[in-house]
Amino acid sequence: MHAPLNLAELRPGFSEPVRDSQSAFRALLTATAQPGTVVELGKALSPPSGLNQAAAAVLLTLADQDTLVWLEPGLRGGAVESWLRFHTSCPLSDQPEHAAFAVLVSASLTSGMLSGFNQGDAKYPDLATTVVVMVPDLHSGPALVLEGPGIENVAEIAPEGLPEFFWSERADLVAHFQFGIDVMLCAEAALVSIPRTTRIQFKGE
């Protein structure tokens, strides 16, 4: 059962929905086409507690009434759920394997969680889940080297707050071409996209 909408406490979405969503969409295209590139989006947003600006902008831009979204349990039943339902009309899924988008906080990641999301299949690889992970920072963690389509030579990122098993489990999921999950890391109003085609290793390995 959905939590009742509390309109009195509902935070606003985009101030100019058409223009702002178009701007955010262009930023997301850039991030996806150039994995490892940090883009800014949603800086003017004031989302509810538990949702940072970049993650909020992703959802406002890409989620609609036909988009199944899975929220980690800590984000369900409160202000984030109400805000998302009001501004996007997206249905929420209790089953991560059915979700087009999953939203979670890096501190809530547990071993094996990523395998529960949709990996796509031979007929519909595009049905794989995009996992939106909110992290404290994109520059203060262990250095990672990215290679693959859209990257000239290599790219480097250093997201903070992700356990080491996150990267090894992601590598296992994307080992077979076309299958796996896509990841968007969000820190405040900054985002970096990591498609399933991107190869990652810790710097120095």
Q: Contact, 97 vs 128, CB < 8 A?
A: no
pTM: 0.93
Sheet holding 190-194, edge to edge: 39-40, 190-194, 182-187, 130-134, 101-105, 69-71
The residues that bridge with 92 in the sheet, in sequence order, are: 69
Q: Contact, 90 vs 67, CB < 8 A?
A: yes
When pLDDT is cut at 50, 70 and 90, the band that residue 1 belongs to is very low
- Match 């203060």 to its residue by tokens: 140
Nearest to 182, CA basis, from 131, 134, 137, 143: 131
User: Per-residue pLDDT tens for 17-54?
Assistant: 999 999 999 999 999 999 999 999 999 999 999 999 99
Which residue ranges make up each domain of the chain? 16-198
Backbone angles phi, psi at 168, to 5 degrees: -70, -40
User: Per-residue pLDDT tens for 92-103?
Assistant: 999 999 999 999
- Match 């490892």 to its residue by tokens: 36
Work out the average pLDDT over 97-111: 96
- Residue 126 is predicted with a pLDDT of 83
User: Per-residue pLDDT tens for 119-128?
Assistant: 998 788 888 9
CATH number corresponding to 16-198: 3.40.50.11310
